[in-house]
Structure 1
Amino acid sequence: MTQPLKLPFYAKLACILVSLISFAYIFCIAKDILTPVLLAFLFAVLLLPIFTFLNTKLKFPRHLAAIICMAVFLSFIVGILVFISYQVTYMANDFDTIKKNANSFIIEIHKFIRENFEISIGDQKKYLDSVTKDSVKNGQAKLGSAIISISDVLLDSTIIIIYTFLFLIYKEHFKLFLAKLISKENHSVLKDILSQIKVSINNYIVSLIIEMIVVSVLTGLGLWIIGIKYFILLGLITGILNLIPYIGILVAGIITVLASLTGSAEISMILGILIVNIIVQFIDNNLLVPLIINTKVEINAFVSIMGIIVGGAAAGISGMFLAIPLLAILKIIFDRIESLEPWGYLMGNHIPRKFAWRVRRTKTQE
Structure 2
Amino acid sequence: MSTLPVTVRRAIELMGLYFLGMIIIVGKNILAPIIMAFFLSLMLLPIYRFLVRRKVPETLSIVIALLVMIVIAGLLIWFFSSQISRLVSDFPQIKQNVQAHISTLGQWIQDKTGFSTAQQIKLINEQNDKVLNYAGSALGGAASSISGVLVFFGLLPIYIFLMLFYKNLLLRFIFLWFPPENHAKVEDVMREIEVIIKSYLGGLLIQISYITVLLGGILLLFGIKHAILIGAIFAILNLIPYIGALVGNIIGVLLTISSTQEIAPIFIVLGTIAFVQFLDNNILMPRIVGSKVKINALATIIGVFVAGALAGVSGMFLSLPVIAVLKIIFDRTNNLKQWGVILGDERPARSPMEWPVFRLGNRKVQEKIKRENNIEPVTKEEKKEES
Q: TM-score, length-normalised on structure 1?
A: 0.89
Write the deviation string for residues 116-144 of structure 1: whole angstroms up to 9, x where unpaired: 22221111111222223321122224333
CA distance in 2 between partners of 1:22 and 1:194 (Å): 24
Name the structure 2 match of 1:32.
29
Name structure 2 gaps, 5 residues minimum.
358-387
Offset at 1:198? Answer: 0.5
Q: Which residue of 1 aligns with 2:316?
A: 320
CA distance in 1, matches of 2:259, 2:297: 40
CA distance in 1, matches of 2:356, 2:98: 67
Give matches, 1:139-154, under 5 Å.
Answer: 139-154=135-150
Percent of residue pairs bearing the same amino acid type: 38
Distance 1:115 1:283 in 2: 41
Give the structure 1 partner of residue 38 of structure 2: 41
For 1:257 and 1:306, locate their aligned partners in 2 and report how far apart those are by CA, in whole Å.
27
* Structure whose alpha-carbon radius of gyration is higher: 1
Q: How far did residue 312 of structure 1 move?
A: 0.9
Contact 1:203 1:296 in 2 (8 A): no
Mark the runs of 5 or more structure 1 residues left unpaired by the alignment: 360-366
Asked if the contact 2:216/2:228 (under 8 Å) is kept, the reply is: yes
CA distance in structure 1 between the partners assigned to 2:150 and 2:163 by the alignment: 20
Residues in 1 aligned to 2:280 and 2:179: alpha-carbon distance in whole angstroms: 45
Residue 203 of structure 2 corresponds to: 207
- Using the alignment, how far apart are the partners of 1:250 and 1:47 within structure 2? 31
What is the distance in 2 between the residues matched to 1:224 and 1:183? 60
Q: Report if the CA contact (8 A) 1:229-1:262 is conserved.
A: no
Residues 27, 34 of structure 1: 8 Å contact kept: yes
**Partners of 1:284 and 1:258 in 2: how far apart?**
23
TM-score computed with the length of structure 2 as normaliser: 0.84
Q: Which amino acid aligns with 1:42?
A: F
- Counterpart code for 2:261: A
Q: CA deviation at 1:21?
A: 2.3
Tell me what 1:79 maps to.
Answer: 75
**2:290, 2:306 → 1: CA distance?**
19
Query: 1:332 Cα shift?
Result: 1.2
Are the aligned partners of 1:37 and 1:160 in contact in 2 as well (CA < 8 Å)?
yes
- CA–CA distance in 2 between the matches of 1:83 and 1:218? 16
Q: How does 1:342-361 map to 2 (within 5 A)?
A: 342-355=338-351, 356-357=354-355
CA distance in 1, matches of 2:341, 2:141: 44
**More deviation in 88-97 or 276-285?**
276-285
Matched, 1:173 2:169: yes
Task: Give runs of aligned pairs for residues 117-266 of structure 1, distance below 5 A.
Answer: 117-260=113-256, 263-266=259-262
What is the distance in 2 between the residues matched to 1:21 and 1:166? 30
Over 3 Å counting, the alpha-carbon distance change for 1:132 and 1:166 in structure 2 is same
Question: Is 1:308–2:304 an aligned residue pair?
Answer: yes
In the aligned structure 2, how far is the partner of 1:258 from the partner of 1:358? Answer: 53
Corresponding position: 1:60 with 2:89? no
- Structure 1 residue 173: Cα displacement: 0.7
Please state how far the C-alpha of 1:170 moved relative to its aligned partner: 0.8
Equivalent residues in 2 for 1:104-123 (5 A)? 104-123=100-119
Deviation, 1:291, is: 5.3
CA 1:181–1:313 in structure 2 vs 1: closer, same or farther (change >3 Å)? same
- In structure 2, C-alpha distance between the alignment counterparts of 1:193 and 1:358, rounded to whole Å: 29
Aligned pair 1:14/2:1, yes or no?
no
Distance 1:271 1:130, change over 3 A: farther
Contact 2:208 2:235 in 1 (8 A): yes
- How many matched pairs? 355
- Decide whether the 8 Å contact of 2:83 with 2:229 is kept in 1: yes
Tell me, yes or no, if the aligned pair for 1:242 and 1:249 is still in contact at 8 Å: yes
Cα deviation per residue 1:291-334 (whole Å; 9 max; x = unaligned)? 55572432222212211111111111111122212211111112
